[in-house]
Amino acid sequence: MVWSLQKTPELTDLQFEQWNKLLEERTGIQVSAHQRSFLQLQIAGRMRELGIKYFSEYFNQVSSGLQGMVEWSILVDRLVVKETSFFRHRDSIESIRQLVQNRINNQDMTESFEVWSLGCATGEEPYSLAMVINDCFELAGLEPYYGITATDISQPSLQSAREGMYGKRKLEPVTAEERARYFKTLDETGESYQVSDKLRDRVCFSHGNVMNLGEMPMVKMDVIFCQNVLIYFRRWRRREILNELASRLKPGGMLVIGLGEVVDWTHPELQRLSDERIQAYVRS
């Protein structure tokens, strides 16, 4: 029988455990029992493309060797949640505008303003940050002096982020003014847009797994922005990652996470901002 006509194979309990463990070890992401069918569908879909019949055979393939790593990077892109949007949480993004404006007003912008967006998906988050930061420099009549490093585990997302091309609907959260300043239209009908070169030149997209922060060289950051990533991780792991991120901030640097993503975390060198609309911490 042709593979495509066969029923999607079912993961046994043991196989589900195995795949779940592999995914969590490698990405930190935990799949709950009610997401089992999603996991099964994605894995089986990829097996179908490769003509592999058995979960065990595919499991062995992705768990070993260089070829396995290549295959893993294809699969992982299908297993992660990549939902994102421009200005997904406006208040958090606007808190960075405030920080940059204060620095400029206090003439405290002697070095490049460095931002790290972790789990940047297809780029909407780092480009939103770039828009507000760029605004501040331009409004003050200053030459923009900032850089954004944006990392993610998904290679296809990073590729699309680098291109910076988005359909009209994606731009709905962007104001008309922001659209005019920071996007160019790619067709006459106004259906597709590209982020302007002046922003794209400021954002460097790079592959990075939050589970391997030790391999990432970002230090002395002015801002670390990590939203809607840790939510898929176990609580103890979220705290460990945040402790590491705290150490990558400059004094006066700010860590911004998703509101409510971590409830029981404090750090001796960080102080939470009193603004309850955001979850942001400043390093002393």
Q: Which residues are near ligand SAM by CB under 6 A?
A: 27-29, 80-84, 88, 119, 121, 125, 152-154, 157, 208-211, 227-229
Residue number, 80 or 262, with CB nearest to ligand SAM: 80
Residue number, 126 or 253, with CB nearest to ligand SAM: 126
Q: How far is the CB of 140 from ligand SAM (least distance, A)?
A: 28
Residue number, 114 or 125, with CB nearest to ligand SAM: 125
Residue that is written with structure tokens 């603004």 in the block: 275
Q: How far is the CB of 124 from ligand SAM (least distance, A)?
A: 6
Distances (CA, A) of 16 to 7, 13, 57, 71, 183: 18, 5, 14, 19, 44
N-terminal to C-terminal alpha carbon distance within the chain: 66
Residues 6+ apart with CB under 8 A from 14: none
Backbone angles phi, psi at 228, to 5 degrees: 60, 35
Q: Count Cβ atoms below 10 Å from residue 59 Cβ, excluding itself.
A: 18
Residue number, 28 or 144, with CB nearest to ligand SAM: 28
Q: How far is the CB of 7 from ligand SAM (least distance, A)?
A: 30
The answer to whether the beta carbons of residues 129 and 89 sit under 8 Å apart is no
Residues 6+ apart with CB under 8 A from 177: none
Q: How far is the CB of 212 from ligand SAM (least distance, A)?
A: 8
Residue number, 119 or 144, with CB nearest to ligand SAM: 119
Q: How far is the CB of 25 from ligand SAM (least distance, A)?
A: 11
